[in-house]
Amino acid sequence: MATVPKAETVVNVLWINAGLSCDGDSVALTAAMQPSIEEIALGALPGLPKVKFHWPLIDFSLGGAEFLKAFFDAEKGQLDPFVLVIEGSIPNESLKKEGYWSGFGNNPETGQPITTSEWLDRLAPKALAVLAVGTCATYGGIHAMAGNPTGAMGVPDYLGWDWRSKAGIPIVCVPGCPIQPDNLSETILYLLWQANGQAPMIPLDDCLRPTWLFGATVHEGCDRAGYYEQGDFATEYGSPKCIVKLGCWGPVVKCNVPKRGWIGGVGGCPNVGGICIGCTMPGFPDKFMPFMDEPPGGKLSSGVSSLYGNVIRGLRAITVKTLDEEPKWRHPGRELTTGYRPNWQR
């Protein structure tokens, strides 16, 4: 359902970076170029509403009450509409007697920090949409690893996977550790279009990810998949061949990074020699550790591919050799051997 704000309405983006995070998703957004943050802020794209960011990383204010005013206003219903962005996992504050795992500003009544989960309780019901950015916020991520002391979880774990905003929008999850910069700016752009009545409901899969970004696996977009097909596997890091036997989980991880690159098409993971550790997945990190061991489930399929792949590679090598040779009619001399029969010689 698209929501159409009144003309001249400003869509506020309230960004809470105080989940258990590293702020890497905030930093990643400054790297986005498709579109860039300045293009969104300056309204450089058609169909964008006016946007006001309340984002700690670049806010003009010096912080404190001046910065937090928008958050308190939103709670009072005086800042409508707004998109609530959550970065970082949500610690379980009810595990302990007192204190805080994670705070964002102070409660004027008590002088103690307002926890991130309390902000979610206060603001989520008023938000046009809740956007969880990065794998910590979406599914718990690294800080929710086995043995963690804080009971950390993702936003859908906290609010409920079936949660809907007052505009009927589910929690929008853009995972990645950190997030691929353009994946985030593009999703923000989509939500702003939707807020402005310019786009229908954002299409999400059952893990609440935008379908057009997370519909394919790493392997399906990886330029080393050809090596896999031919059963040609790297045995040492630094090789340009397929690295599944060195710990890459690409065949079973939903992520577009090898295809899209990291920044401006540069970098990535298996495409540039880095094993895929599954950082966009709800099972990250525990189900992928130890990262540098061959994924146990991959042994069968890569074994099979080694069998037929070796044969195919052999045949292709013959073909490549043929193709590396020019056709024999390209030569100097007095004779034309291309097959053309010149009429000047007839």
CA atoms within 13 A on the CB side of 144: 26
Q: Is 106 in the site for other proteins (CB under 8 A)?
A: yes
The residue among 209 and 260 lying less far from other proteins, judged by its C-beta, is 260
Contact flag: residue 266 with other proteins (CB under 8 A): yes
* Binding of other proteins by 269 (CB under 8 A): yes
Cα–Cα distance for residue pair 262/266, rounded to 1 Å = 6
Q: Would you say 66 or 121 has its CB closer to other proteins?
A: 66
Does 178 sit near other proteins (CB under 8 A)? yes
Residue 145 engages other proteins in binding (rule: CB under 8 A): yes
Would you count residue 189 as binding other proteins (CB under 8 A)? no
90 binds other proteins (CB under 8 A): no
Least Å distance, CB 82 to other proteins, is 18
Q: Using CA of residue 146, residue 162, residue 51, residue 113, what is the dihedral sign? A: negative
For position 318 contacting other proteins by CB under 8 A, the verdict is no
Contact 57, 178 (CB under 8 A): no
On whether the CB atoms of residues 202 and 236 are closer than 8 A, the answer is no
Q: Do the beta carbons of residue 136 and residue 88 sit within 8 Å?
A: yes
Number of neighbouring beta carbons within 10 Å of residue 329: 11
Among 11, 31, 79, 173, binds other proteins (CB under 8 A): 31
Instruction: Give 17 or 305: the residue with its C-beta nearer to other proteins.
Output: 17
What contacts 308, CB < 8 A, 6 or more positions away? Answer: 231
Site for other proteins contains 104 (CB under 8 A): yes
Q: Supply the minimum distance, in Å, between the C-beta of residue 116 and other proteins.
A: 9
Residues comprising the chain, all counted: 346
Instruction: Name the minimum Å distance from CB 32 to other proteins.
Output: 9
Find the binder of other proteins among 2, 3, 52, 105 (CB under 8 A).
105
Between 129 and 179, name the residue whose CB sits nearer to other proteins.
Answer: 179
- The minimum distance between CB 325 and other proteins, in angstroms, equals 25
Does 76 engage in binding with other proteins (CB under 8 A)? no
Q: Which is nearer to other proteins, 131 or 243 (CB)?
A: 243
Question: In whole angstroms, how close is the CB of 88 to other proteins at the nearest point?
Answer: 8
Based on CB atoms, which residue is closest to other proteins, 41 or 204?
41
236 to 255, contacts with other proteins by CB under 8 A? 236-240, 243, 246
Closer CB to other proteins, 144 or 169, in the complex: 144
Q: Which residues contact 168 (CB under 8 A, 6 or more apart)?
A: 1, 201
Which residues lie below 8 Å from residue 212, measured CB to CB, with a gap of 6+?
A: 203
> Is-cis flag, bond preceding 35, omega within 30?
yes
Is residue 291 involved in binding other proteins (CB under 8 A)? yes
- Which residues in the 32-61 window bind other proteins by CB under 8 A? 33, 36-38, 41-42, 56-61
**CB 118 within 8 Å of CB 154:** no
Burial 49-76 (b: 16+ CB within 10 A, else e): bebebbbbeeeeeeeeeebbebbbbbbe
User: What amino acid is encoded at 260 in this protein?
Assistant: R
Contact between 123 and other proteins per CB under 8 A:
no
Query: What does the block give as tokens for 57?
Result: 């990383």
Tokens of 79: 């800042």
